[in-house]
A and B are shown apart, each in its own frame.
Chain A
Amino acid sequence: MSRILQSASERRAETHPLTWRLHDDQSPVQLEEYRRTQGYDAVTKMLEQYTYETLTEEVKSANLRGRGGAGFSAGFKWSLTMKGEDVPRGYIVCNADEMEPGTFKDRLLMEQQPHLLIEGMIIAGFANRSKQGYIFLRGEYHRAAAAIQRALADARADGWLGADVRGSGWDFDIALHTGAGRYICGEETALINSLEGKRANPRAKPPFPGQSGAWGLPTVVNNVETLCNVPGIVNHGADWFQALSGDLSSDGGTKLYGVSGKVRNPGLWELPMGTTGNRIIELAGGMRDGLSLKSWLPGGGSTGFLLPEHLELALDFDTIGKTGSRMGTGLLTVVADNQSMVSLTRNLEEFFARESCGWCTPCRDGLPWSVKLLRALEAGEGESGDIELLEQMARDLGPGKTFCAHAPGAAMPLASAIHYFRDEFERGITQSKGEAHADPIPVGSV
């Protein structure tokens, strides 16, 4: 479905570690071909040359930052996992719940190259002394499920999974778990509850999953794209990974960047980390005829809106973070000049309101309220004070006020849309607040 818009001849092993094997016709890379093209070499090398400590160090020094949106260093996360001879072996969980509005990268990796993910998980499992891996896949990804099931069976038959992996004496296996809807399942502690067959409410941290996660055992949760970067690091080393992004970024590696919205050629590209927004929009052929770009989201619905002038920035975690937005998943959503920021913000807050797990008050009650206000503004029936109220809500939904990052994610597009496009919101105000309408209720009558 979604496409890498670089042709196979443009993608090379040394420069496009995530996509160089992909076929132009989008058919999956099966085991035999994967093996022929260095596939599982990293597992062989790992079993021969690494301990779980040296492996974690290698990934840490590569500065592979989490591609699920938060940008936390994968190697650092692994170094915090409770592990050792006397600690029970836990789980490595792949977060394949991809539901962030505007994000379409993990699906492609899983449908077209499931072995790369499996190889990455085997290595992550070794580094974290996990006994078992789970791929937590959203229920709607049927093609990815079929590709993964087949790849798991093939890898197992070839000795890469199961008891005594390739005669090393090390046991490790992976199972596929498919979800049943709800965006919140992508939050890592909610995901663990869902994996345990419970309602997907997030858990309090600490304890962090690395101490006590699935079924009380040490659990590492990593995104699909994060894990797909791991085999390259083992094969070619941390320095190579760092060099992929050269001077563009201190974050190592490449990134699957993409664009959706009214551009000429929406799609995906594997590019050095730190590529600018301008370059990516250029690859997408610019805006469709007659349109110009008014605003954009750098990486999904839970990131903040930015302006055209921000397109010259390097798209990496720290640079975009400094604007007050976040890089998130790194897939750009572009807004054209004839599209309403108020309507789009209403659409986003409807999403967050519906997908709230309902655990904490600002999120459960505040988000539907914000939708009500935004609908009024959209219809030109807003009252004076509505914008200030929305701003207050965005603050009340911010970091530290709720149990998980869902609410702060909802606050980002809301606050930034008002910040940059206040005039559009003001145009929706046609009524003054006036005096309180209801007569006071006499004491004693309720």
Chain B
Amino acid sequence: MNQTTASSTTATIASDAFALDPADREAILEERAHYPYPQAACIEALKIVQKRHGHVPDGAIPAIAETLGIGVANVEGVATFYSLIFRQPVGRHVILICDSSSCFLTDYEELRNAFIAHLGIQMGQTTADGRFTLLPVCCLGACDRGPTILIGEDLHGPVVPDEIPRLLEAYA
């Protein structure tokens, strides 16, 4: 269970098993100030929560709604729309494999199959040790370096299957 330190400040809003970290709440309120309406900070709020927990736990939805003063459904609808908002736990490192056309033409399917074989998981799954999650992603805007992948904030390309073990060593 991801548990934030139970804080004595009134800023912590509890919702079932979830408590919004006070620092996250502050960050969300600060984001809110950047836009004319609170709904606009919704995506950023989800990202703030995700940064701490790795994903957006169900309990975070009402907590964000309450912090921003918007409807729960408005947060839920957004949280389920965007592909980089994870609603289930993911590994410590998310490997996004570009599956768009230029990478397809530079043999991304071979690379994807090599990742699947190496990690022993299918696309969309997480390794048993919680280290890696494999997901597809739209064109990463580095098609001249295809096939490309993004691990955390690091872009790699062109990646050849043989390189996978060495490449992953950097991600504990």
Which residues of chain A have a CB within 8 Å of any CB of chain B? Answer: 1-3, 98-104, 106-107, 138-143, 175, 178-183, 194-200, 215, 258-262, 266-268, 297, 301, 331, 333-336, 339, 343-344, 347-348, 350-351, 355
Closest 6 pairs between A and B when the two form their complex, measured CB to CB: A181-B83, A101-B100, A260-B143, A180-B82, A266-B144, A181-B84
Assuming the contacts A101-B138, A260-B144, asked whether A140 and B150 have C-beta atoms less than 8 A apart, the reply is yes
B30 smallest CB distance to A (angstroms): 12
Which B26-58 residues have a C-beta within 8 angstroms of A? 34-37, 39-44, 46-47
B155 on interface, CB distance cutoff 8 Å: yes
From known contacts A197-B39, A199-B78, infer whether A99 and B105 are also in contact, taking CB-CB under 8 Å.
Answer: no
Contact of B85 with A by CB under 8 A: yes
Chain B hits for A344, CB < 8 A = 101, 104-105
> Could you say which residues of chain A place their CB within 8 Å of the CB of B74?
198
CB distance from B83 to the nearest CB of A (A): 3
Determine if B141 is an interface residue (Cβ-Cβ < 8 Å): yes
Chain A hits for B106, CB < 8 A: 260-262
CB distance from A9 to the nearest CB of B (A): 21
The residue that B105 contacts in the complex, of A2, A3, A198, A261, with Cβ under 8 A, is: A261
Measured CB to CB, the closest approach of chain A to B106, in angstroms, equals: 7
From A2, A98, A196, A343, give the contact of B39 (CB < 8 A): A196
A261→B39 CA distance, assembly (Å): 41
B92 at interface, CB cutoff 8 A: no
B142 within 8 A of A: yes
Cβ of A99 to closest chain B Cβ, rounded Å:
4
Q: Is the pair B81, A199 in contact by a Cβ cutoff of 8 Å?
A: yes
**Given the contacts A101-B139, A180-B43, A2 and B145 also touching, CB distance less than 8 Å:** yes
Counting chain A CB atoms within 10 Å of each CB, which of B46, B102, B105, B106 scores highest? Answer: B102
Q: Can you name 11 extra interface pairs (CB under 8 A) apart from A2-B142, A215-B37?
A: A98-B139, A101-B138, A102-B102, A142-B153, A197-B42, A198-B77, A199-B77, A199-B81, A260-B106, A347-B99, A350-B99
Q: Which of B37, B43, B139, B144 has the most CB of A within 10 A?
A: B144
Contact B102 A101 (CB under 8 A): yes
In the complex, the answer to whether A140 meets B140 with C-beta atoms within 8 Å is yes
Residues from 97 to 154 in B contacting A, C-beta threshold 8 Å: 99-102, 104-106, 137-146, 150, 153
Taking the closest CB of chain B, its distance from the CB of A345, in whole angstroms, is: 10
Contact A99 B138 (CB under 8 A): yes
Q: Which residues of chain B come closer than 8 Å to A347, judged between CB atoms? A: 99-101, 104
CB of A277, distance to nearest CB on chain B (Å)? 16
- Give A116 to B15 CA distance when docked, in angstroms: 46
Are the CB atoms of A1 and B105 closer together than 8 Å? no
Complex Cα spacing A1 to B146, Å: 11
What string of 1s and 0s marks CB contacts (under 8 Å) between B58-85 and chain A?
0000000000000000100110011111
Assess the A107–B85 pair: CB atoms within 8 A: no
Residues of A within 8 A of B82 (CB): 179-182, 200
Using CB atoms, name the residue of chain B closest to A142: B153
User: Do A106 and B141 touch across chains, with their CB atoms under 8 A apart?
Assistant: yes
Collect the chain B residues with CB atoms within 8 Å of residue A99's CB: 138-139, 141
Would B105 and A262 count as touching, CB distance under 8 A? yes
Q: Tell me if A101 and B101 are in contact (CB < 8 A).
A: yes
Q: Can you list 5 pairs linking A and B with CB atoms under 8 Å apart?
A: A101-B102, A103-B139, A178-B44, A200-B82, A336-B105
Whether, in the assembled complex, B95 has its beta carbon less than 8 Å from a beta carbon of chain A, the answer is no
Q: Is B161 an interface residue (CB 8 A)?
A: no
Assess A215 versus B36: contact at CB under 8 Å? Given A1-B142, A107-B141, A260-B146: yes
